[in-house]
Structures are given as C-alpha cells and as structure tokens.
Chains A and B, each alone.
Chain A
C-alpha cells in the first residue's frame, strides 16, 4: 500500500512569492492534516480536514495561508506572499479518523524563503 505522498520535496522562494504544496493521502483515510515543522522544533498543526470539510484551521495564518481538499482526497496548501518566517518543512499526514488512530506522515516539503 502506498504511503502519503507530497510534492514538491523542496522549494526555494524569495519573500513575497507564492507557493503551493500538494498531498495525496493513504487511500481510504478520511482525515488529512497539515503541519508546519520549523527547524529543530516539533510539528505544529496548521489545519485538518475530515473528507472535504475543514474541521480546524484556527492555527492557519489566514491572511496568507489557505488549504483545500475539494473531493475529500488530495489536498493543496498554498502560501501567498511568503515570508522568511515561513521557512520550515510542511508535513502532510493522514489517518482513518478514529479516536487514537495513528497518523501517517508524508516525506514533507522543505521550504526556504530567502
């Protein structure tokens, strides 16, 4: 069974540029998460979906970040006008959506904003 896939694996931007990250979860997993992991820190939840619905986006900087999962499968996370402080690895994870279920993480996208 294929794991969580993400693309691109790396991105380098100048401040003010936009970037999109794409995630394909494990087939059958209804819950999808996006985390931001700054260097040498733990992952921090940005947003998560159950099917196509946003369940919690309270930690998503809404003025520049957006996330969608229109068909309840793949998801896209977009940063408009990136800042140096956005430099981090962006991890996508999926799970069956059961209480206590393991979250399976993708390889991440390492973003550097110059």
Chain B
C-alpha cells in the first residue's frame, strides 16, 4: 500500500531561521497528489499546500514545496520561521481519485524567540 515517511519527529529552531521538513513517499500510482497539512494545538488538520505537478514549486503562506517524482519527495521549506509556525506538520498522499489520505507520522515544529 501507500506510505509516507517523515524523518524528523521534532524540529526546534529560533525565530527567523530557515526550516525544512522532509517527506518521501511510496505509491503504486504514477500521478499522486501530495499534501502538507498543519495542525495547531487542539485544532484539526488544515491544508497548507498541495501539488500534483512534477518539479513545480508550490507556495502558500510563506511555505513552499516542490514535488520531485524522481526521488519521490515533497519537502516543505520556509526561509524564516515565525513563532506562529509552531505546530504539527503532516505530509500526506492521495494516489487515486478522491481516496482517503495516507499521512506520515508528522513533524512537530517548535519555534523559540
């Protein structure tokens, strides 16, 4: 079946520094959709950004990610972290028409002043 791997369980950094969260995936489908969802404390997940197109950068709210099918990766980056970015970040995959999402284990980001 499909799988998503997020290698960092916890990322701690100082406000203003760049952040990168790793995401790799496995799927039998040749044209998957990849998503990043963010979950703040005591809230439900909400979409941060998504991509379907190989090698095209997608941006939203200062975050960006590029889907690379050659390496099955969809890493999330931001050039300057803010205190409000502290949250859980999930990479997720949808391999086929409107199917349920396969989530990674998540990366907790803690940004300190």
Q: How large is the interface on B (under 10, 10 to 19, 20 to 34, 35 or more residues)?
A: 20 to 34
Smallest CB separation, B113 vs chain A (Å) = 25
Residue interface bits B10-47, CB-to-A below 8 A is 1, else 0? 00000000000000000000000100000000011111
Please count the residue pairs between chain A and chain B whose beta carbons lie under 8 angstroms apart in the complex.
54
A50: chain B residues at CB < 8 Å are 98
Smallest CB separation, A11 vs chain B (Å) = 16
Give complex CA distance A107, B94 in Å. Answer: 22
A72: chain B residues at CB < 8 Å are none
| The one of B50, B52, B99 that contacts A56, using a Cβ cutoff of 8 Å | B99
Q: Contact between A97 and B98 (Cβ–Cβ < 8 Å)?
A: yes
Kindly identify, within residues 56 to 114 of chain A, every residue whose CB is under 8 Å from any CB belonging to chain B. Answer: 56, 91, 95, 97-108
Residue in chain A with minimal CB distance to B104: A42
Give complex CA distance A95, B104 in Å. Answer: 20
Smallest CB separation, A7 vs chain B (Å) = 14
B96: chain A residues at CB < 8 Å are 99
B90: chain A residues at CB < 8 Å are 42-43
Q: Given A41-B106, A100-B52, A100-B94 in contact, is the A105-B45 Cβ separation under 8 Å?
A: yes
B92: chain A residues at CB < 8 Å are 42
Give complex CA distance A45, B99 in Å. Answer: 10
Q: Given A99-B33, A100-B94, A106-B44 in contact, is the A45-B52 Cβ separation under 8 Å?
A: no
Residue in chain B with minimal CB distance to A103: B101
Q: Contact between A108 and B44 (Cβ–Cβ < 8 Å)?
A: yes
Interface residues of B (CB under 8 A from A): 33, 43-47, 50, 52, 90, 92, 94, 96-106
- Can you list 25 A-B pairs, Cβ within 8 angstroms, ordered by A? A33-B101, A40-B106, A41-B105, A41-B106, A42-B103, A42-B105, A42-B106, A43-B101, A43-B103, A45-B101, A45-B102, A48-B100, A50-B98, A55-B99, A56-B100, A91-B45, A95-B98, A97-B98, A99-B97, A100-B33, A100-B52, A102-B47, A104-B46, A107-B44, A108-B44
Interface residues of A (CB under 8 A from B): 31, 33, 35, 40-45, 48, 50, 55-56, 91, 95, 97-108
